[in-house]
Amino acid sequence: MHVSEVTKIRRKVLAEVSRLALEGTLEENIAGILGTVVSEDGPRYRCCVHKERAVLKDRINMALSQPIGTPLSEAAGRALAGERADLPAVNLLPEACDRCPIDKFLVTDACRNCLAHNCIASCPKKAIMVVQNRAYIDKTICIECGMCKRSCSYGAIIEISRPCERACDLKAIVAGSDRRAVIDYDKCVQCGACKVACPFGAISERSEIVQLIRRIKAGHRVYALLAPAFIGQFGPKVKPEQIIAAIGRLGFHAVREVALGADAVALAEAGEFTRAVPAEQPFLTTSCCPAFVTMVEKHLPDASERVSTTVSPMIAAAKAVKEEDPSAAVVFVGPCVAKKAEALRYPDLVDFVLTFEELAAMFVGAGINVAETDAGAHLTAASRDGIGFARAGGVTQAVLDTLAHMSPGAVVKPQRAEGLADCHAVLAKMQQGSLDANFLEGMACQGGCVSGPGTMTDPRLSAKLLEHYAAQAPVATAPDNPAAREEKDLHRRTK
């Protein structure tokens, strides 16, 4: 999987912050990261070293979960005290935004100034004329309808959009008056797609690494909840037991697989479907993807009552840990940025959220090579279906298999949607009654969780490794799993 320079810098910052926090020298040495990551000798990605370091300061503040602009020593002190600023999961770094051009339609050199002048004829605002033997678009008149592009026989008019705007299916990013990107949080669902898309690294997520390390070093019992997509994230040859052992070396008290929580969710959601469809409502959607759930709440609120009230596997697993050990600190580790927003809805259950990228940074900061970590054998406590939640179609399969055990006569007409644009379109059709389906699996990421913005591996490889891992599970379905049966009545999603 190609690792861009943007990604390398982000990971280096996280690793340095982790190293200093683990060593206990963060507050006095935080400013040193400016010289460690950006040296006078380069490499240079912006106009000068001063611009590079201005951007880097913003990245460090995000790594400390502190507001942009906070002096670094002050930000480090707050993070070491356990403070986390009230920030969205996804944030814009103003200094890093390159103010990408916002002229949406451009005439290229392919224009032949043809006799037909289809572009001129098609323009409803008469914004196109011929200047110096070629079509010219008057931007003061253009309404960016795209008729000119569609009408040009030569394909000489192209459409340009910012990478972040193009990545956002919900139109939550626009260009501000100063041409910098602006995130509209009334529309944003914190999916992280814009973060991955921006080639300047101008969008970042807040991190809780320092606050977590503080809790570990204080001797708290900290549990890591590993999302099923963890398979293959630290190398295709790294075994699950090595990852679990490496997490233990960081000081975590115990590691639990979220796939077991997925088994409990499959049981609860199948039961909810049996009770509610069609007696109370025409269809039910999944609730495991927080970005999908938030999309429904913000963009299709009339369909909110169709979303399953069953909690996500993360919350199901966290509830199980808190019941067993009420004073435990719970950390979800997975591929998802939106989980950081979801965790805020359950402050009594989930204390921290890390992406796989952030966990990898902690390993680097602690000097742990996961591939060389000694570990004993590991057998998952989850079912094949529970592990399969991490790929598109996995939740549907788990619910279908569960219903086959619990309610063999249930009539299920499943539908899948991947990507928020597809989720919105499919759900709107179901709400209108124009799609013959009564169960919808909605995933914000194409391919499911294995394609999340916090992953480290090519999703195609991850999906294959996940499938192989799932095949080794001791049981196939949630009803076959005694541990999941014990948990099935615990999980209700808060509105």
Residue extents of the structural domains in the chain: 5-99+169-210, 105-161, 221-487
CA 334 – CA 106 distance, rounded (Å):
41
| SS3 state at 249 | helix
Q: Both tokens of residue 310?
A: 């069953």
CA 373 – CA 473 distance, rounded (Å):
23
| Predicted pLDDT of residue 92 | 95
Q: What percent of the chain has pLDDT over 90?
A: 85
pLDDT in tens, 346-375: 999 999 999 999 999 999 999 999 999 998
| Predicted pLDDT of residue 52 | 84
| SS3 state at 323 | helix
Tell me which architecture the domain covering 105-161 has in CATH: 2-Layer Sandwich (3.30)
| Predicted pLDDT of residue 2 | 72
| Predicted pLDDT of residue 4 | 86
Burial environment of residue 220 by CB neighbours within 10 A (0 to 12, 13 to 18, 19 or more): middle
Q: Both tokens of residue 107?
A: 């005439």
pLDDT in tens, 39-59: 666 666 776 777 888 999 999
Q: Evaluate whether 285 touches 309 at the Cβ level (below 8 Å).
A: no
Q: Both tokens of residue 396?
A: 């549907």
CA 448 – CA 417 distance, rounded (Å):
10
| Predicted pLDDT of residue 6 | 87
Q: Evaluate whether 337 touches 192 at the Cβ level (below 8 Å).
A: yes
| Predicted pLDDT of residue 139 | 86
Please report the beta strands in 373-486, taking only residues with DSSP state E, as ranges in sequence order. Answer: 414-418, 439-443
The series of mean pLDDT values per 10 residues for the chain, 495 residues long, is: 84 96 97 82 70 91 97 97 96 88 85 95 96 93 92 94 92 86 96 94 96 97 97 94 97 97 95 95 97 98 96 95 96 98 96 98 97 91 97 97 94 97 98 96 97 94 95 96 70 49
Q: What is the largest CA-CA distance in the chain?
A: 78
Residue 130's DSSP bridge partners are 135
| Predicted pLDDT of residue 348 | 95
pLDDT in tens, 430-442: 999 999 999 999 9
Q: What angle do CA 389, 391, 396 make, to 5 degrees?
A: 55
| Predicted pLDDT of residue 495 | 41
CA 364 – CA 442 distance, rounded (Å):
35
Mean residue pLDDT of the chain comes to 93
